[in-house]
Chains A and B, each alone.
Chain A
């Protein structure tokens, strides 16, 4: 493993900090709503701060490790913060902090339950990010699965219940499949579940068929969260049903937990060489391509804004999978970086959708005529992110597309570029109409006398709602311009990728 590996309680501390929110909620009296929720926010802020503390060390090539519990040899709960895990933890804690801030104003009923489970989920996800081996990852992943259920059904409408039910069915089945694959991995991998830079498994350990079984069960298990196409069924239902901050987190982070799992499996469990030998990366790439195209086409047909965004997320997460499946330096760089990029963009878009819903009560795109004049800041941010999604420079979306394109040339398969371009076109086809409707249409615009509404700045919504949106939109641009700033995705991901693809 990397140069220096030091014992440190910081990862554990970061994981436990969100629990402050939980304690606060349980302990504080019923009346102190503001105080309670702000303390919750402070909890997530502190978690982000603690994660940030590790940044210099990580950039120096340090690794922090702490053992939580050990059952027997090889089966232990351990946190090891390597660069890849840290990268995921950083974006996760950041987005979570913004979403918590946003929720303070957004959530208006049963906020105790919502914030408690937000905190729990953050803690479990940090556990996922820091996990040193598949056993730990699986445990936190399962807990996160069940912890996010109350977030999805928070509204308690029939729609939400049905979405929650669907989510549980998918999640429980996936968890079981995953359990099987972890056991199989443990058994055939000689009791080593750890993540290592060049992979753990090899053809000497087990037969080809056994390795294929392990890979495909992992793929099926994580694929449900990562919404790879035949397994995506819960995503389009869950996103519109959940409250907007929860949708932002669902698509910004929780889907990524699945994708992150696949990244771990491909790079740290199987390793690039074994992937090439087994040839399974082709399957991965084909599934990702299908998902990218089909999800975008589905997105075109949706009128519900959040549903359209959800389909878009399905497609975008598959960019990550595609980038990883290319098994080239630039492809991996682009794919893994897209994890953050997409979290920023889609987080912002969902939060915008939330503001629209709160301020105007409109869910469908066709009803949103002239909304850009009522909610200018929101819609500008929305437009910026939507353009970024299409890959317009200067933005993070462009970086991703550029790197993925490079990667596909490196892999000698230009067909991926065709897929990427098609996807960009389709993205344009489903995002541009929203912008058009928001800014260039208004009620009564087809009649002669119709007046263009007045732009009203500054009064559109509570600051707690607007600030996170603006921060995210600004970051979408900034990260797209100053790519190599330390702490931004490139600085971290390139460290990982340069090791794997020297």
Chain B
């Protein structure tokens, strides 16, 4: 591997250090801050892509921090799936960053600009570290960076609603972090180690099954809040709809996925490697909640009048998809969940950025105001339509592929009621997405609603939107690039 083994640590630390250096630049030349903020993310993306080419198929890259061997030092463990997710994080964060450059003046006053970009970089770096780490306490530390920066980013607009939404988020998020910490304590008390690979071996032979079982439940609750799994989702609609749109895109498109990925890792690389019986009951309960999430999120999304609120509820529904895939406990289900993380990330980020684009051009947030938007903002509307198609799961978008694997994964373990619920969820998605598309394309606009708009959003905002929506199409058409390796990885996990 040579120098390549250092790449993951640089992917993580460069955004963090960039965030620390950014205030100097903000002090000297505030104009350059948006461009400078892109540099760390671009370099992380480049490093990740280079590493992707060198990644051994089916293997993983283990990096021993400070040359200490794993149970003693901290390990970074990047496998194919993790690296893949890290690249998604880099890519989507980068696009949202470019989108922010013009958009952010709409929602954030000038004095807070530097802080916005600093927090943005911290959030991205923390997500990368969160995905890459192989140590369970380190997972907690990165989760805290991620949580703190996201609370602050939700509040950054500084108005009444933003602060309230952020506080609501914090009041649910902070206890959940403490619960995770407690779970780590339980796990440590029963095994005496914090390294995930070591844990999976020791969990299997540990005699303290009750402790481990409750630790798993606490992990699911703790990460479930961050991932907005159904009964713990209350913070999400407010936070995601009130945050500035690029941040909504990150929260909905990445943060939720990353938290679900944490559950996936805890489930498969820590607990079930040797002791499936420990987690079976919990996972059954989780799948019930996930099924409820699919339906609840879908129905609530249909009832919304605010566009971003609708997209946020749709996220709750899709978190249910991901969890149903994870709990299906089949290679297809897990691969489907992973692929859904990708396509949901792309599609949701695209939808939120489109919503941001409407806010930027016209200040419209309500779905009804979008009637006839197509005439004036065709590019935004087309991208929105494409991403919605992926959210519904209509071929040839990536949403279809992941839906196929999720349904099939649930089918093949005789969990067909969940398969039906997934399908019902996609009907609900069709209802709420097609309604917006219908308003945009086939309804005449209200008198004077769009007259002052002569052109679409600026191209620096359209480019990220289009890259994302083209991504959903690309990963739908060329899903054969990833699906076999994901299936292999999922089989390896099981």
Complex: A in contact with B (CB within 8 Å): yes
By a beta-carbon cutoff of 8 Å, the part of chain A in contact with chain B is 69-72, 75, 138-140, 142-143, 146, 150, 153, 156, 161, 164, 168, 172-173, 175-176, 179-180, 183-184, 186-187
B480 within 8 A of A: yes
Nearest Cβ in chain B — how far from A63, in angstroms? 24
Does A183 contact B419, Cβ atoms closer than 8 Å?
A: yes
Q: Which residues of A contact B411 (CB under 8 A)?
A: 183-184, 187
Q: Which residues of A contact B450 (CB under 8 A)?
A: none
Does A69 contact B412, Cβ atoms closer than 8 Å?
A: no
Q: Which residues of B contact A186 (CB under 8 A)?
A: 408
A450 to B412, CA, bound (A): 75
Does A69 contact B480, Cβ atoms closer than 8 Å?
A: yes
B396 within 8 A of A: yes
A15 to B426, CA, bound (A): 28
Q: Binary interface profile of B, 366-408, with partner A (CB < 8 Å = 1, else 0)?
A: 0000000000000000000000010000111000110110011
Can you spell out 6 A-B residue pairs with CB atoms less than 8 angstroms apart? Answer: A71-B479, A71-B480, A139-B395, A175-B394, A180-B419, A183-B419
Nearest Cβ in chain A — how far from B334, in angstroms? 14
Q: Which residues of B contact A75 (CB under 8 A)?
A: 404
A62 to B408, CA, bound (A): 35
Does B401 contact A71, Cβ atoms closer than 8 Å?
A: yes
Closest residue on chain B to residue A188 by CB atoms? B411
Nearest Cβ in chain A — how far from B414, in angstroms? 10
Nearest Cβ in chain A — how far from B294, in angstroms? 13
Q: Which residues of A contact B292 (CB under 8 A)?
A: none
Does A156 contact B442, Cβ atoms closer than 8 Å?
A: yes
Nearest Cβ in chain A — how far from B298, in angstroms? 13
B285 within 8 A of A: no
Closest residue on chain B to residue A173 by CB atoms? B427
Closest residue on chain A to residue B487 by CB atoms? A72
Does B427 contact A172, Cβ atoms closer than 8 Å?
A: yes
Nearest Cβ in chain A — how far from B407, in angstroms? 5
Chain A residues touching B, majority SS? helix
CB contact between B394 and one of A146, A156, A184, A187 (< 8 Å): that residue: A146
Does A183 contact B396, Cβ atoms closer than 8 Å?
A: no
Does B480 contact A70, Cβ atoms closer than 8 Å?
A: yes
Does A176 contact B423, Cβ atoms closer than 8 Å?
A: yes
Does A179 contact B407, Cβ atoms closer than 8 Å?
A: yes
A187 to B430, CA, bound (A): 25
Closest residue on chain B to residue A186 by CB atoms? B408
How many chain B residues touch the partner (CB < 8 A)? 31
B478 within 8 A of A: yes
Instruction: Choose among B427, B442, B477, B487 the residue with the greatest number of A CB atoms under 10 Å from its CB.
Output: B442
Q: Which residues of A contact B394 (CB under 8 A)?
A: 142-143, 146, 175
A184 to B411, CA, bound (A): 8
Does A143 contact B395, Cβ atoms closer than 8 Å?
A: yes
CB contact between A168 and one of B396, B426, B434, B478 (< 8 Å): that residue: B434
Does B483 contact A72, Cβ atoms closer than 8 Å?
A: yes
Leading 9 A-B pairs by shortest Cβ distance: A139-B395, A172-B430, A176-B423, A71-B483, A183-B407, A183-B408, A71-B480, A187-B411, A70-B480
Q: Which residues of B contact A164 (CB under 8 A)?
A: 442
CB contact between A187 and one of B389, B412, B423, B480 (< 8 Å): that residue: B412
14 new A-B pairs (CB below 8 Å) besides A71-B484, A142-B395, A142-B400? A69-B477, A70-B480, A72-B483, A72-B484, A143-B394, A146-B394, A150-B441, A156-B442, A172-B430, A175-B394, A180-B420, A183-B407, A183-B419, A187-B411
Closest residue on chain B to residue A136 by CB atoms? B395
Nearest Cβ in chain A — how far from B481, in angstroms? 10
Does B407 contact A153, Cβ atoms closer than 8 Å?
A: no
Closest residue on chain B to residue A177 by CB atoms? B423
CB contact between B396 and one of A71, A143, A150, A153 (< 8 Å): that residue: A143
Closest residue on chain A to residue B423 by CB atoms? A176
Closest residue on chain B to residue A146 by CB atoms? B394
Does A139 contact B412, Cβ atoms closer than 8 Å?
A: no
Q: Which residues of B contact A156 (CB under 8 A)?
A: 442, 444
Closest residue on chain B to residue A168 by CB atoms? B434
A71 to B408, CA, bound (A): 14
Does A183 contact B404, Cβ atoms closer than 8 Å?
A: yes
A140 to B389, CA, bound (A): 14
Does A161 contact B401, Cβ atoms closer than 8 Å?
A: no
A495 to B408, CA, bound (A): 36
A94 to B451, CA, bound (A): 44
A179 to B410, CA, bound (A): 14
A426 to B302, CA, bound (A): 45
Instruction: Choose among A153, A176, A179, A183 the residue with the greatest number of B CB atoms under 10 Å from its CB.
Output: A183
Q: Binary interface profile of B, 418-439, with partner A (CB < 8 Å = 1, else 0)?
A: 0110011011001100100000
Q: Which residues of B contact A180 (CB under 8 A)?
A: 407, 419-420, 423
A139 to B400, CA, bound (A): 9
Q: Which residues of A contact B407 (CB under 8 A)?
A: 179-180, 183
Closest residue on chain B to residue A69 by CB atoms? B480
A153 to B443, CA, bound (A): 11
Instruction: Choose among A71, A168, A184 the residue with the greatest number of B CB atoms under 10 Å from its CB.
Output: A71
Q: Which residues of B contact A142 (CB under 8 A)?
A: 394-395, 400
A146 to B395, CA, bound (A): 10
Nearest Cβ in chain A — how far from B371, in angstroms? 13
Q: Which residues of A contact B441 (CB under 8 A)?
A: 150
Nearest Cβ in chain A — how far from B479, in angstroms? 6
Nearest Cβ in chain A — how far from B362, in angstroms? 23
A22 to B408, CA, bound (A): 35
Nearest Cβ in chain A — how far from B185, in angstroms? 42
A448 to B46, CA, bound (A): 91
Closest residue on chain A to residue B441 by CB atoms? A150
A139 to B403, CA, bound (A): 13
A353 to B483, CA, bound (A): 50
Q: Which residues of A contact B389 (CB under 8 A)?
A: 146
Instruction: Choose among B395, B412, B479, B483 the residue with the greatest number of A CB atoms under 10 Å from its CB.
Output: B395
Q: Which residues of A contact B477 (CB under 8 A)?
A: 69
Closest residue on chain A to residue B484 by CB atoms? A72
A187 to B441, CA, bound (A): 38
A72 to B441, CA, bound (A): 37
Nearest Cβ in chain B — how far from A216, in angstroms? 15
Nearest Cβ in chain A — how far from B245, in angstroms? 27
Nearest Cβ in chain B — how far from A212, in angstroms? 15
Does B423 contact A179, Cβ atoms closer than 8 Å?
A: yes
Q: Which residues of B contact A175 (CB under 8 A)?
A: 394
Q: Which residues of B contact A146 (CB under 8 A)?
A: 389, 394
Closest residue on chain A to residue B444 by CB atoms? A156
Given contacts A69-B477, A139-B400, contact A187 B442 (CB under 8 A): no
Closest residue on chain B to residue A176 by CB atoms? B423
Closest residue on chain B to residue A165 by CB atoms? B438
A146 to B397, CA, bound (A): 13
